[in-house]
Structure 1
Amino acid sequence: MMIRESAYQHKYIENNINYDFEDMNFVYGISLFKNYISNPNTFLNKVLFTIRNKLFKEVIKEINPDDKILQIGLSYGSQIPKMSKMLSNNGYIDIAGIAPDVLKRIKPLISPCSNVYVTFKDADKPPLNKYDKIVCFFMLYKSDDKQKSKIINALLQRLDVGGKLIFVDYHNPSKFNLFKFFMYIKNKLWHENALSLWKNQIVSFANFDEKSQFIWEKETYFGSLYQKVTVTKKN
């Protein structure tokens, strides 16, 4: 007896997309690429991690000993002890925009820091204090455009006169950047909201009335792969 194969046996489904077996080489290739690009031990991610550390050094240059700092999100968390050690007895760091599971992961890093305080305020509803420095380090790419606008405008309102709001995030790489293809695929697969930062300036998400009160300065790094936008509140 010969049993005919069901037509459904010739289909492969991933993320609600049907693939014929003829397309399986493509699907398998995508799977391998996803595993590679998400592995922190790959050459690509080691390079990107090193670059992020260099970007944080650019942020550190803006910090003064007496600063009252609001840190939005934690990224890897390793930057907090470094900032904490730079501050005098008058300075402190408030952390907002983090989830409890993230706090649990990085708690051993920040527990020894007596001048660091954690709040569970959302990034778009930060503490009502005024700050000398606000650091938003790789946070905008996680949010859709509407949420980006809410976060940016809320943070601008928390900035003291002469204070600085510092964004570090993704940017549209130059066409000659060897990482451009990989970063596009990586963001497309996991962080599609990051691609909005390829198309739009961070200042474009701020309300018009807010823009006029501030000086906006932008620098790009590593072939425009990343950007640092410094927003200074006018006196």
Structure 2
Amino acid sequence: MTEVYDWAYVNPAWVRWLDHNLVVKTLLFGNDRRLMRRYLARIRPGMRVWQVAHVYGDLVHLAAQATGTTGCFHLTDVTPIQIAHAHTKLDALPWAKVMRQDAGLHRGETGTAYDLICSFFLLHEVPDHWKRAIVDNMLGQMPAHGEVLFVDYHAPARWQPIRYILKWVNRLLEPFAEALWDHEISHFASEPERFEWRKETVFGGVYQVVSVKHKQIA
């Protein structure tokens, strides 16, 4: 994290500047709310939700609010400055909890069965072996009734001009991102055949929203 993403997630000066809705909107080419709605629309009052990493802007607060007082919202992250920012957004909500844990290692509290587990733009930031650990851990904690949701980058269509901007950005700043151009997210699961994978692409293929559920037994 410090070697590759110090500027984005570790350095306090940069984090203070980046953690704003306008910055998120700019980085996602105006698709921020469109992608957030794919996640937030799945949350119902009373649900138990785990978000595997802190996200800049107001998304984590909105997601926690959506679970309501009868649900719970758990947020994990490994970086102290991200944990601190998450606390400023969630400490006023008693049903929300912030934990410093790795997404590939986190285990829910005893008795916790998450209805929804979401990775919102995390996988493109980690090496392939951590992609596998995170995907497997998320799937391994999904109960029979639950859903795992991945919102992340995808291989843009060749006609999409953003493709060539991102190629340049990836070379400079995002060395692990194009693994999601080359592989489906299911590629990083140890046993993908056990699950139903449904993918929606957004903005000419720049982004993907992948829903995973247990296969229904006939």
TM-score class, shorter-chain normalisation, is 0.7 to 0.9
The residue that corresponds to 1:22 in the other structure is: none
TM-score by length of 2: 0.82
Instruction: Say if 2:152 and 2:209, in contact at 8 Å, map to a contact too.
Output: yes
For the residue of structure 2 that corresponds to 1:160, the secondary structure is: coil
Q: Is 1:50 matched with 2:33?
A: no
1:200 positional shift: 0.5
1:90 positional shift: 2.5
Q: Is 1:233 matched with 2:214?
A: yes
Query: Structure 1 or 2: larger strand share?
Result: 1
Cα distance in 2, alignment partners of residues 106 and 63 from structure 1: 19
Structure 2 vs 1, CA of residues 162 and 218 (structure 1 numbering), >3 Å: closer, same or farther? Answer: same
Cα distance in 2, alignment partners of residues 88 and 141 from structure 1: 30
The residue that corresponds to 2:153 in the other structure is: 170
1:222 to 178, 203, 207: 203
Mapping 1:133-144, distance limit 5 Å: 133-144=116-127
Task: Structure 2: give runs of 5+ residues left out of the alignment.
Answer: 1-16
- Which deviates the most, 52-61 or 195-204? 52-61
Instruction: Say if 1:77 and 1:109, in contact at 8 Å, map to a contact too.
Output: no
1:54 positional shift: 1.6
Instruction: Say if 1:188 and 1:195, in contact at 8 Å, map to a contact too.
Output: no
Cα distance in 2, alignment partners of residues 175 and 111 from structure 1: 44
Mapping 1:1-235, distance limit 5 Å: 46=26, 48=28, 50-128=30-108, 129-208=112-191, 211-234=192-215
1:89 positional shift: 3.0
Code of the residue aligned with 1:175 in structure 2: it is R
Structure 2 vs 1, CA of residues 115 and 43 (structure 1 numbering), >3 Å: closer, same or farther? Answer: closer
Instruction: Say if 1:218 and 1:227, in contact at 8 Å, map to a contact too.
Output: yes
Cα distance in 2, alignment partners of residues 147 and 122 from structure 1: 10
TM-score by length of 1: 0.76
Cα distance in 2, alignment partners of residues 44 and 132 from structure 1: 27
Cα distance in 1, alignment partners of residues 199 and 64 from structure 2: 26
Code of the residue aligned with 1:163 in structure 2: it is G
How many residue pairs match? The answer is 195
Instruction: Say if 2:199 and 2:209, in contact at 8 Å, map to a contact too.
Output: yes
Structure 2 vs 1, CA of residues 183 and 45 (structure 1 numbering), >3 Å: closer, same or farther? Answer: farther
Query: Where does structure 1 differ by over 3 angstroms across 4 or more consecutive aligned residues?
Result: 39-45
For the residue of structure 1 that corresponds to 2:37, the secondary structure is: helix
